[in-house]
Amino acid sequence: MRVVIRSFHARAAGAAAALALGSLAVAQVAPGPNVSPRAVWSHPPETFTSRVVASGLEDPWEVTWGPDGFLWITERVGKRVVRVNPADGSRKIAISIDEVHQTLPQDGLLGLALHPQLLRGSNFVYVMYTYDADPSAAEERRSKIRRYTYDSASQQLGEPVDLVTNIPHGPDHGASRLVIGPDGKLYASRGDHGSNFLAYHCEPIRAQELPTAADIAARNWQGYEGKILRINLDGSIPDDNPLLNRVRSHVFSYGHRNPQGLAFGPDGRLYESEHGQDTDDEVNRIEAGRNYGWPLIAGNKDDQYYTYANWSASAPTPCASLEYGRDVPATVPRTKESDVNLADFTPPLETFFTVPSSYDPRTLGNATAALAGLEVYASPTIPGWSPSILVAGMTSGVIYRLPLNATPAPPLTYFKAQDRYRDLAVAPDGRRIYVVTDAHGRTVSASGEMTATLEHAGALLEFTYAGTPPSESR
Ligand SMILES: [Ca+2]
Ligand SMILES: [Ca+2]
């Protein structure tokens, strides 16, 4: 569906140095000259070996290191939670969830979070998935957060308890990453449903709309589109959640597009990544009650390429008569970033592929990296890495590293392959990094063209740190 004429990564790949490491072809990629000056990446000096741990996974979506030494993975399409032994790739199904309703690229079994005391007294596992709330043949796609109890003897998940149900889930941009914070709360991300974009361009984006008191009293969660939620472990609304428009709800922050990465750092802060529209993927630090701008502001408030065009407000020609495309008809109102004044707007820590107004996607192609899962690396094992954000790129097929303690430094890229990297996990030894890949979809080839041929479809990959040449240590 996404209109891509020629990849923005074409020049990047031209400069790529392919390294055959283990069973994976891994390349280091530098961007082309037209990317913003902040995104001029250097070649990282570290070396890694790599291998395929498991394959044939049905669209793995979340990978989490468990206290049992296994990798806990959700299969979005497979509707299963599987535990994979990293030593031999063997896998055990912890549960298949029949209620999961999966028909589209961004629904199915999605988020998973392990209780911090799993195997130490609180054997709870939390998942987030879509289901069909309409008992008739009609479809009403909704999302829920469910708790299971893990039985370590049978290695099965059971005793389901639904914590939050009936959360609206659109046909696209489903987000649904799930994580437990150091405050013992569940955090869940919600996307903007793909509204105002492609096939759903006549649906207005509601990421700036906040729940009303009447909504919350009625347990109507329609205001949760494009938000990060903060939830008690029993599903209730925390007493110390922010008051937004004088209403306390599960909403912790708002103005998000498709936040698929969510993780806490060793500093106790919450970091998030979100997938940009054509440009301006973001990494954000999420704070209570803050507004992250979407759709009025993408990336920084800088009046670069992105300008909000509200297709649903087209007049006098109604949106339904318009064909969606990059050439925005004159009847569609547009809003410059500098013309909006959002209370509590918080710019990103880093933007990826912020391009100037003169950028022409018809000749240069799509510029988004398609950011997905995110982790904060906090181990002393790899010199100079702690603390860094690691974030998966789907269209770019790389893991980006964004140093957190440096004066602003451009992200570095690692592990380039012709794959869509969906999520990652770091082993406690800090030496091994695990990445799960989509089973289907489009990414960038080594020669820089968009392709639907994936090197490792539906796989769990392992990258093991092999050292840093002394001359390049820093
Ligand atoms: Ca933003
Ligand atoms: Ca901007």
CA distance 42 to 328: 36
pLDDT at 364: 67
pLDDT of residue 368: 81
What pLDDT is recorded for position 39?
38
Which of the four pLDDT bands, split at 50, 70 and 90, describes residue 381? very high
- Tell me, what's the pLDDT at 409? 73
**Residue 366, pLDDT score:** 65
* 445 pLDDT tier (thresholds 50, 70, 90): confident
> Sorting pLDDT into bands at 50, 70 and 90, what band is 350?
very high
The angle at the Cα of 233, spanning 232 to 238, to the nearest 5 degrees, equals 5
Query: Among 224-233, 284-293, 359-368, 389-398, which is the least confidently predicted range?
Result: 359-368
Q: Which ligand is nearest the CA of 356, by number?
A: 2
List, for residues 59-99, the tens digit of each pLDDT value: 999 999 999 999 999 999 999 999 999 999 999 999 999 99
Three state DSSP letters for 273-291: EECCCCCCEEEEEECCCCE
Of residues 71, 92, 98, the one with CA closest to residue 154? 92
pLDDT higher than 60, residue 6? no
Q: Which of 185, 166, 206 is nearest to 252 (CA)?
A: 185
Q: Which of 9, 101, 173, 275 is catalytic?
A: 173
- Give the up-direction half-sphere exposure of residue 21: CA atoms within 13 A in the CB hemisphere: 23
Q: What is the tens place of the pLDDT at every residue in 181-221? A: 999 999 999 999 999 999 999 999 999 999 999 999 999 99
Distance CA(334)–CA(342), nearest Å, equals 16
- In this prediction, residue 472 carries a pLDDT of 54
What would the mean pLDDT of 331-354 be, rounded to a whole number? 95
- What is the structure's pLDDT at 24? 37
pLDDT in tens, 112-134: 999 999 999 999 999 999 999 99
- pLDDT beyond 70 at 8: no
Give me the pLDDT at residue 185, please.
98
- Kindly identify the ligand whose nearest atom is closest to the C-alpha of 336: 2
User: pTM value?
Assistant: 0.91
Rounded to the nearest angstrom, the distance between the alpha carbon of 284 and the centre of ligand 2 is 14
Does residue 37 register a pLDDT over 60?
no
The Å distance, Cα 384 to ligand 2 centre, comes to 31
Tens of pLDDT, residues 221-246 = 999 999 999 999 999 999 999 999 99
**Ligand 1: centre distance to CA 246 (Å):** 23
Distance 82 CA to ligand 2 centre (A): 40
pLDDT at 22 over 50: no
| Between 34 and 135, the higher pLDDT residue | 135
Strand partners, 420: none
Tell me the CA end-to-end span of the chain in Å, nearest whole number: 43
pLDDT at 352: 87
The answer to whether 173 is a known catalytic residue is yes
How close is the Cα of 330 to the center of ligand 2, in Å? 21
Give the largest CA-CA distance in the chain: 67
What pLDDT is stored for residue 14 in this prediction?
A: 27
**Could you report the per-residue pLDDT of 310-331, keeping only the tens digit for each?**
999 999 999 999 999 988 999 9
Q: What's the pLDDT at 397?
A: 93
348 C-alpha to ligand 2 centroid (Å):
10
Residue 217 CB neighbour total at 10 angstroms: 9
The pLDDT of residue 471: 66
SS3 217: helix
Q: Does pLDDT of 33 surpass 60?
A: no
Does the pLDDT of residue 23 top 60, yes or no? no
- Residue 43 has a pLDDT of 64
Structure-model confidence comparison of residues 356 and 401, the more confident one: 401
* pLDDT at 153 > cutoff 50: yes
Question: What percent of the chain has a predicted confidence (pLDDT) above 90?
Answer: 80
Q: Which ligand is nearest to the CA of 282?
A: 1
Task: List, in order, residues 6 or more apart from 453 with CB less than 8 Å away.
Answer: 418, 445
Q: Any idea which ligand is nearest the CA of 293?
A: 1
pLDDT score for 17: 28
The more confident residue out of 97 and 359 is 97
